[in-house]
């Protein structure tokens, strides 16, 4: 049994990327894993100040929701990020959270497999590439981990437009096979 954390970064309830995340969660649960989904809706996540206080303290000096999220990520075996693609890149809130998790850099972490779920109105193959590159920049700082999978669903824009899409089943199977 693995400990799986799924971080849904869309701030729109019922978003397409959140629906992919929910299917990944269900698949991982069906496989018997311990799964927690963290939605960034309603979370307070301030910008990194670049003070590097986190390197001394082992946690961020800013008192918001990031330290609690970071603690869960540190203990997970699998981390799955779900994000809508905005202007061919990950959501701003995802990037802000990644930047704020700098305190993890010098610490021991358990995660090895990292997954990325992305959605966008555009459906070209290259649409999610920059988001993947951005996430692999974070992954590269944790050399015991790697990008284990990336699922992209393009052509979905409005909330819940992904309903009935075969990518939902693929997200379930990806979660089931972590």
Distance CA 80, CA 92 (A): 17
Q: Is the pLDDT of residue 7 over 90?
A: yes
pLDDT for position 5: 98
For residue 106, name the pLDDT band (cuts at 50, 70, 90). confident
Report the distance separating Cα 155 and Cα 119, nearest Å: 8
The confidence band for 86, taking pLDDT boundaries of 50, 70 and 90, is very high
| Residue 105 banded pLDDT, cuts 50, 70, 90 | confident
Res 101: pLDDT: 95
Residue 48 — very low, low, confident or very high, per pLDDT cuts 50/70/90? very high
Edge-to-edge strands, sheet with 113-120: 34-39, 3-8, 78-84, 113-120, 146-154
Q: What is the rounded average pLDDT for all residues in the chain?
A: 97
Does position 13 have pLDDT exceeding 90, yes or no? Answer: no
pLDDT of residue 162: 98
Percent of the residues in the chain that have a pLDDT greater than 90, as a whole number: 96
Residue pLDDT, tens place only, 123-145: 999 999 999 999 999 999 999 99
Q: Which residues pair with 38 in a beta bridge?
A: 7
The Cα-based distances of 49 to 54, 60, 176 in angstroms read: 10, 10, 38
Check the CA dihedral 149-68-19-35 and report its sign.
Answer: positive
pTM above 0.95, yes or no: yes
Task: Kindly list the structural domains of the chain, giving each domain's residue range(s) and its CATH number in brackets, ordered by start.
Answer: 3-176 (3.40.50.360)
Res. 16: pLDDT tops 90: yes
Task: Please give the pLDDT value at position 63.
Answer: 95
Q: Give Rg (Cα) of the chain.
A: 15
> Model confidence over 29-40: pLDDT tens digits?
999 999 999 999
């Amino acid at each position: 049994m693995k400990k799986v954390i799924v971080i849904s970064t869309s701030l729109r309830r019922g978003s397409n990327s959140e629906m992919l995340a929910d299917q990944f969660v269900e698949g991982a649960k069906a496989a018997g894993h311990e799964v927690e989904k963290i939605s960034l809706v309603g979370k307070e996540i301030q910008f990194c100040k670049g003070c590097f206080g986190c390197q001394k303290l082992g946690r961020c000096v800013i008192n918001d929701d990031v330290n609690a999220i970071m603690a869960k990520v540190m203990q997970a075996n699998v981390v799955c990020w779900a994000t809508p693609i905005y202007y061919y890149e990950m959501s701003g809130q995802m990037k802000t959270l990644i930047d704020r998790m700098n305190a993890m850099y010098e610490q021991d972490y358990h995660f090895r497999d990292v997954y990325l779920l992305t959605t966008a109105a555009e459906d070209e193959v290259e649409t999610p590439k920059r988001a993947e590159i951005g996430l692999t920049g974070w992954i590269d700082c944790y050399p015991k981990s790697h990008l284990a999978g990336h699922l992209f669903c393009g052509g979905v824009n409005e909330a819940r437009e992904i309903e009935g899409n075969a990518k939902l089943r693929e997200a379930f199977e990806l979660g089931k096979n972590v």
